[in-house]
Amino acid sequence: MKVILLEDVKSLGKKGEIVNVSDGYARNYVLPKKLGVEANTANMNDLKLQKANAEKIAQEQLEEAQKMAALLETKEVVLKMKSGEGGKAFGSISSKEIAAAAKQQCALELDKKKIQLPEAIKALGVYEVSIKLHTKVTGKLKVKVVEDQ
């Protein structure tokens, strides 16, 4: 019997796949536990529509991330930091502070978990920070660290 999986099943396959299972396994396990439905024409058409909708949503998210990356290229965030002699900074700047400053100065909602800092910013200057907006899109934000008087 052909079955369309509604959830990932360890020994069968992933959600949305069409798999061949024995009649007894389908009747006694897959169908009663709502892990899958019988692969008839109506269910096949529903599956095609769901896949088309998922692809459309994924494409829209990718385009939105690309727009956001282009917007980030034009923005600059200024952070103040106390420093001693020779520009040696006290403390460091974290991704949380960068996200808060971007929200306040540029009205950009950035998730601190998506900001990728190779190491904490511990000196004055201008830095380019990578922000993972999508699996295929990474934006760059300019962060300027100045001395706090």
CA 4 to chain centre: 28
What is the H or E stretch that residue 116 is in? strand 115-116
Per-residue pLDDT for the chain (149 aa), expressed as one digit of tens each? Answer: 999 999 999 888 999 899 999 999 999 999 999 999 999 999 999 999 999 999 999 999 999 999 999 998 888 999 888 887 776 778 888 889 999 999 998 888 888 899 998 888 888 889 999 999 888 999 999 999 888 77
Which pTM was predicted? Answer: 0.69
User: Could you give the C-alpha distances from 77 to 15, 65, 68, 104, 143, in angstroms and in order?
Assistant: 42, 19, 15, 9, 5
